Amino acid sequence: MKKITAILLMALMVLSLTACGNQTGKDNNGSEGSTEPTSVTITTLNGQKEQTQLEVPYNPERIAILDLAALDIIDSIGVGDKVVGMAQTSIDYLSHYSENKSIKNLGTIKEADIEAVMECEPDIIFIGGRLSASYDKLSEIAPVVYLATDNSIGLVESTLKNAKTIASIFGKENEVEDKVNQYNDRINNLKNIASGKNALVGMTTSGSFNILGNDGRCSIMGNEIGFNNLGATGNTSTHGNEASFETVVAKNPEYIFVMDRDKAIGKAGAASAKEIVENDLVKSTPAYKNNHIIYLENPNVWYTAEGGIQALDMMLKDLEKGLGVK
């Protein structure tokens, strides 16, 4: 009887040890002691701006940021402590990164310091469209995530889509949708004002006025907010199309939205947007007469961080203030 009891006890111990071993288990990439993957596959763009599948490390520890919309999202989901290098920025709500001496300066969103990127030994690199030509060179250092806004689905949906992609790399998908969806009521309030109204959307740069359509910067005014954008013809996706002020008058806009590019990039000695726009010709338009010329107060956000979660909040605030939404 004692012998049988001893055998049964030994059998139970073996079963118990086996169960414990199975709980430790292996993840789907075969590493022991974790249920997390070591990598994930995401949809991103390559250097030719074509969609591609890219395998990236899961929850990377060392992040190099050369795109401010991506930094905005990374900050929003609470993984900014992993940033080891970044592009320069003048955006206030991201300034604590540029002021952090432990974060390496990697150049600008237009021109990366490749040597500095190498020195910070990133596990992953984020870029925007201005650095698409450097995609292959940067890919030799670490996987490069290149995301962009897609005006065919609109800025808000693009922001949500890109934020979900970035969040999936860190296992933070559940935190993203509510952050973007909280803006829906605010957008609807702006839609109510825009309904049936027309507008010109423009950018001042080096003394000129460039008209923007619904295919690039500031497209939220026509696409989501719903103004009839009088400049929505042709390709305006980069810096818009330079227009004479006679053209502005001929379009007879009810509203004019203006982004000051020189202010956005910190160009010294440049004339202000108001000095450029409010000339005798423009003063004859309904937009001027009804005090409907709206200067976007945070042009650096519009110009360099469009596509970020917090950037969208700032952009809506600019529109709300300009349109008198309480």
CATH code of residue 270: 3.40.50.1980
In the predicted model, is pLDDT for residue 126 greater than 70?
yes
Q: Is 13 a domain residue?
A: no
In a domain, 17, yes or no: no
Residue 119 lies in a domain: yes
Domain boundary among 181, 208, 225: 181
Same domain, 235 and 259: yes
Query: Which has more pLDDT, 134 or 152?
Result: 134
Structure tokens at 247: 């053209």
CB within 8 Å of 61: residues ≥ 6 apart: 82, 123
Would you place residue 129 in the very low, low, confident or very high pLDDT band (cuts 50, 70, 90)?
Answer: very high
- Split at pLDDT 50, 70, 90, the class of 151 is confident
Residue-range definition of the domain harbouring residue 118: 39-181
Judged by average pLDDT, the poorest of 26-40, 92-106, 156-170, 187-201 is 26-40
The reply to whether 286 falls in a domain is yes
Mean pLDDT calculated for residue range 115-143: 97
- The CA–CA distances, whole Å, from 258 to 16, 262, 292 equal 70, 12, 11
**What confidence tier does 33 reach under pLDDT thresholds 50, 70, 90?**
low
Residue 218 lies in a domain: yes
Q: Give 34's pLDDT tier (boundaries 50, 70, 90).
A: low
Mean pLDDT of 290-301: 97
Span 38-49, average pLDDT = 96
Average pLDDT, integer, range 126-155: 95
Residue 145 to residues 105, 165, 174, 294: CA-CA distances in angstroms? 19, 10, 20, 35
Share above pLDDT 90 across residues of the chain, in percent, rounded to a whole number: 81
pLDDT exceeds 80 at position 41: yes
Mean local confidence (pLDDT), 58-86: 97
Same domain, 75 and 177: yes
Question: How would residue 152 be classed by pLDDT, with cut points 50, 70 and 90?
Answer: confident
- pLDDT tens for 317-326 read 999 999 999 7
Number of domain units in the chain: 2
152 and 199 belong to one structural domain: no
Residue 247 CB neighbour total at 10 angstroms = 16
Task: Say if residue 164 is in the same domain as residue 188.
Answer: no
Separation of alpha carbons 80 and 71, rounded Å = 8
Share of the chain above pLDDT 70, in %: 89
Q: Is a pLDDT exceeding 90 seen at residue 228?
A: yes
Question: Is the pLDDT at 128 greater than 80, yes or no?
Answer: yes
Judge if 287 and 176 occupy the same domain: no
> Do residues 61 and 138 both lie within one domain?
yes
In the predicted model, is pLDDT for residue 236 greater than 90? no
Same domain, 88 and 198: no
Q: Output the pLDDT for position 14.
A: 41
Q: Convert 8-62 into a string of H (helix), E (strand) and C (coil).
A: HHHHHHHHHHHHHHHHHCECCCCCECCCCCCEEEEEEECCCCCEEEEEEECCCCC
In a domain, 29, yes or no: no
Lowest mean pLDDT among 21-30, 78-87, 212-221: 21-30
Residues 64 and 81 placed together within one structural domain of the fold? yes
Instruction: Give the model confidence (pLDDT) of 2-24 as tens digits.
Output: 444 444 444 444 444 444 443 33
What does the DSSP assignment read for 218-287? TTHHHHTS--EETT-SS--TTT-EEE-HHHHHHH--SEEEEEEHHHHTT-TTPPPHHHHH-STTGGGSHH
Say how far apart CA 202 and CA 182 lie, in whole Å: 28
Last residue of a domain, one of 165, 181, 197: 181
Is 100 found in the same domain as 130? yes
Q: How far apart are CA 61 and CA 68, in angstroms?
A: 19
Residues 104 and 147 in one domain: yes
- Domain final residue pick, 149, 181, 213: 181
Q: How confident is the model at residue 195 (pLDDT cuts 50, 70, 90)?
A: very high
Mean pLDDT, the chain, whole residue set: 90
**Do 164 and 234 sit in the same domain of this protein?**
no
Closest CA to 313 of 130, 144, 179, 141: 179
Q: Which residues contact 43 (CB under 8 A, 6 or more apart)?
A: 51, 52, 53, 54, 165
Cβ-based neighbours of 264, under 8 Å, separated by 6 or more? 299, 300, 302, 303, 304
- How far is Cα 107 from Cα 117, in angstroms, rounded to an integer? 9
Element (H, E) at 194: helix 184-194
CA–CA gap between residue 38 and residue 306 (Å, rounded): 31
Residue 7, domain member (yes or no): no
Query: Which of the pair, 23 or 260, is modelled with greater confidence?
Result: 260
| Rounded Cα–Cα distance for residues 169 and 147 (Å) | 13
Q: Are residues 164 and 194 in the same domain?
A: no
Examine residue 83 and state whether it is found in any structural domain, yes or no: yes
